Each structure stands twice: as structure tokens, then as C-alpha cells.
Structure 1
């Protein structure tokens, strides 16, 4: 692995002990928002449904559509808009149509141009408002499972929210992986550098090498989900379609790693984590490593069977 020592420009004055205290897994019910790009793949839909099926633990207050750009859409703006519409579809399938206009927000229509200039959006502004309204001892949990543009923009608009939120981000690869060219991180490296460089408490869920263990197969989803309800049938269909689109053949599996940050918040022993100095992603696809960086909580292992079992049991209700 190439090691670099460049760092993002903004400094922060958040004491390490404050960050560490915020990185302890919370007890009881928590307030949360979800930042997501569900039109990109299929795992976001599973994650959104998982949250809504866990109301005893997670009070979901808002959903932000995140930008993405790949062969499915012509631009990051279209990726965000299609994700906004897909979020509405999932809520409708769960009988939550009435929540669409109250809790779903359009996010950034482009990625950050640099590490100082936010992309203004309804999502970023709502996150700032909700975070600043939180009591000092009761942070808002930001479950982020796409490019981190919306969250980074909110941090740039109002840096004080770094003391009001805890960000659970699925992005990058394991520290031991040969690079960090993961989709969420690669889409907006500037935003990732803002997030990991500003001192906001972050729980990091790396993709390859860690949460890549959260796979499912066609026979498994057909057995546990097919015919249970409209939502489950839809999830079965889109997961199979995604496998076919990627030409995976008859013996396919799909990674639904976006459920990992949700599972971490639930009251079950399903992850292992340790404190690490914040790894700063560089623009050439590697991490900048400095032991003096502020701490983050780094998830290095997930218990696949426990998480998938809880997920499918709740979805099939």
C-alpha cells in the first residue's frame, strides 16, 4: 500500500476524549437520519426497510437522497433524483406514503468541487437544522450509505454540527486492502476528506475486507422473503434483476453491505470495532496514515449470519 501524508485543510478543536465518548454504542432508542442512494444498487433498499422495521431502536426522522453517477444515470443530479423517487417507492411499499412529503429530502446535485465549498441542498440544510436542535448530550445519528457529499456539505455549512452528530459511514475499503477505490469514496474524495478530517465522530464501515461478508443468494432470498409481503417481493425482484444486469450467471450472490451501519445501532452483538487514527483518503486512491490524527471507530468484523437473520426476520413480518 502506498502511504501518503497530505491532510485536508480545515483543522478542528474537538478534543479526542469527546470524540471517543461519542463513539460508544448508544443505549436505548436513538434519533437518526439516513443518507442513501437507492437507485444505485439494491442494498440501500434493504437498509431503509431494516431501519423502518426497527422502530423500537431507531427513530428515523429524515431520509436524504445522495448523488451518484454510473452507467445507470447521465449525471450525479439524475442519480440523486432517481434515488429520491426510489425512496418514495420503498415507503409506499411499506404503507408509509404519508411520510414521503414530510421526511424525504433531495440532496446534492453534484459532488464537491473542493474541500471548502459545500453543495447547498434541502438535505444539507435539514441536517444542519436537525443537528443544531439536538441537546448537547443526545447526538443525532447519521447513517450514511452513499457518497458522503450531503453530510460533508452540512459540515462545511455549519462546522458546529460536528459536536451534535455521530456519522456512521459505509465507505472505503479495509485499511489492509491494497487501495481505497470503493464506489462511495471514489465518487467524492473531497467530501470523504472533509468527513474524516474535520473531527466529527465517525464509525467507519469498510467495504471490501470487512462488510463484504454480508452476502445473500437467490435461493436464500426466495426462501425467506418471497411471498411474505409486497416489499419482500420487490426486494427479491430487484436483487435478481441486479444479478442478471451484472451477468452473474445462475449461481449468483449479492453483497448487501449497506445494512451494516443499521445493524451496529441495534441491540445485538454483531460487529467488532476498534479505535484508529482517522485515515485520510488521498486523491490517488490510497489512505494517508498519521498516528497523531483524531480517533474514529473502525469496524473490522461483522457477524454475517446474525445480521442477515435479523434482517430477513424483520422484513418478512
Structure 2
């Protein structure tokens, strides 16, 4: 079966890819148990109500040494979302959904899940002039599945995805992208409005240290203590050690465009060898972030950890 995607006009794409004004409606798709940075992103989103209103959380699949497979990774991510909700009162009423138990078996075959169905429903209920922002910080399986299940959501969403490496990087075998390359190609090829935040060369600027987390995070209530503990446990030796908190780049993009300078580029092609293919100027445009100003991002995050949500 061949999926037919709606084609947005160049003018509509330009409008959707402009930085949003006012408060943004968003959902957050996250492999929350995979790393320590997802937890920071979840808290950052909930503590930024002046710019984003989180409508739902989706648990994304992952498979590495922390899981027995994508289903186990998704379930652990769902339970991690539940744990954070117990520490962050403002998150308690935000619905949380289990996502895909497998990766896409092929490029045009969606994986059904609670998360994908909720995204379709939520997106189709959105107005085209008030698109839902789909913020994704893991494998893009849930989002690609929703697009394949109902391609019409392309007219009603903007995807902000942390995936791949910078377009000049020698390869793009990055964890989020490489886990489900079929899903990544759906995202890159479908024409959905996409803001791509690469990892190496861009989000990799968001490094911090245990000393900084101890000083500005640890004493900020139960959730601050939890974030500190997860950071402390991520390495047996913190001497001259820093850790990248990749995922907060997506929230930072929505909060303040000055921290994440970007440009419109033709949607890149993901080659079979795990590299970016040659640029094709005839491809539809996406917005690609080219740098992250880490100081402004961490100043905002640390300040919000000490404040109740408004």
C-alpha cells in the first residue's frame, strides 16, 4: 500500500516553520528511561507555561543496555513518566499514554498504540491555523505511525524533533534516528512541517556538570533532588566530567528562538549507509537548528526549577 501525503503549499510551510508566537499547544514524545536528559526536558516543559501548554505525554520505545527490547524500553519510559508525575504536582492531570511496542517493520506500515491514536485524535481536533506542536526526544516511531495512520494530520501539526547529527557531520548514526530509520524517513519524506534539532554539532553544546547541578538544582524541592540523583548516578567519576542534557534543546527552541538560531534547508535524505545524502534543492523545506546558546538555556531552566508553575 502506498501512502498519499497531503502537500502543503510553500506559503503554508513557510508559515508553519516560522517560530511560533504566544503560548504553544504541545505534546511530548519521550523515551524517558533511556537517559537522564528526558527527565530534565519533562520538567522544563511543565515549568514553562508562559510559552508551552503540555496536553499529553507519550512513552517512546528504545532498546539499549537499559532495556530488553523496544517494548520493555517503552514500558520503562511510561513508568518513568508516572514517577516524575508523582514529584511534579502540575503534571498530575496531564494524560500519559503508552507508545509503540516495536519499531516500524517497513516504511509505510504504522505501529498501532495508545500514543499514536491519541496524537491522531488530538491533531485532527486542532485548527490548521493553530497547529499542535509535537515535540519528540526519542525514536520517532509513535509520530511516524500517527502520520501513516492519518496523513491528514500533516496539515495540523508541527514536529520538533531531536534527531540525527548536524548536516555537516561525517555520519548521522545518532541513537534517536538510527533506532527506527523507517520512521525517520517518514518524517523527512512526508512533507510534515519539521523543526530538526541535530545532536552532535548542535545540541551537544548543552553540557553541564555535577557541581552546577548540585548548586542550582539539588535543593529545588523533590523534583530537584530527583534530577540531581539521576545526574550523580550517571557516572562513577565526576572529576572534570560533563554531561550533555540534549533533550532540553527542544523546549528551549519553543521558549526563546534567540537561543536556537536556525535556517530553512531542503529536507535531508537519510542514506542506507547511515549518512546524510547529497542535498537536493527540490526537496520541501524544513527548519534546522544550527547552534544552541547553552548559557541562556540553563539560566532559564535553573531559574524555573526554583519557581512554582504559573
TM range (shorter): over 0.9
Q: Out of 181-190 and 278-287, give the one that drifted further.
A: 278-287
Q: Which runs of 5+ in 1 are unaligned?
A: 1-7
Tell me the TM-score normalized by structure 1: 0.93
Q: Does 1:260 align with 2:249?
A: yes
* Counterpart for residue 91 of structure 1: 85
C-alpha distance in 2 between matches for 1:117 and 1:128: 16
The aligned length equals: 305
SS of 2:291's partner is: strand
CA contact (8 A) 2:208 2:243 kept: yes
Q: Distance in 2 between matches of 1:228 and 1:144?
A: 26
What CA distance in whole angstroms lies between the structure 2 residues aligned with 1:170 and 1:85?
22
CA RMSD of aligned residues (A): 1.5
The Cα shift of 1:295 comes to 0.1
1:139 aligns with 2:128: no
Q: 2:12 aligns with which of 18, 28, 31?
A: 18
Return the offset for 1:240: 1.4
Choose 276-285 or 34-43, whichever is displaced more.
276-285
SS at match of 2:239: coil
Question: What SS is found at the alignment partner of 1:287?
Answer: coil
Structure 1 moving runs of 4+ over 4 Å: 8-12
TM-score (norm 2): 0.95
Unmatched 5+ residue regions in structure 2? none
2:63 is aligned with 1:69: yes
For residues 20 and 145 of structure 1, the distance between their equivalents in structure 2, rounded to whole angstroms, comes to 23
Q: Give the match for residue 268 of structure 2.
A: 279
State the Cα distance separating 1:38 from its structure 2 match. 1.0
Q: Which residue of 2 aligns with 1:303?
A: 293
Find the aligned partners of 1:180 and 1:158 in 2 and give their Cα distance: 28
1:111 matches 2:103: yes
Identify if the C-alpha distance between structure 1 residues 115 and 162 changes in structure 2 by more than 3 Å, giving closer, same or farther.
Answer: same
- Please give the alpha-carbon distance, in whole angstroms, between the structure 1 residues aligned to 2:73 and 2:60: 8
Q: Please list the CA deviations of residues 132-191 of structure 1 after superposition, one character each: whole Å capped at 9, or x if unmatched.
A: 001121000001000000000000000010110000000000011000000000000110
User: Hey, what's the Cα distance between the residues in 2 that align with 1:134 and 1:92?
Assistant: 29
**Taking CA–CA contacts closer than 8 Å with sequence separation of 6 or more, which of the two structures ends up with the larger relative contact order?**
1
State how far apart, in whole Å, the 2-side matches of 1:147 and 1:121 are. Answer: 14
The answer to whether the aligner puts 1:269 opposite 2:230 as a matched pair is no
Check whether the contact 1:243–1:254 (CA below 8 A) recurs between aligned residues. Answer: no
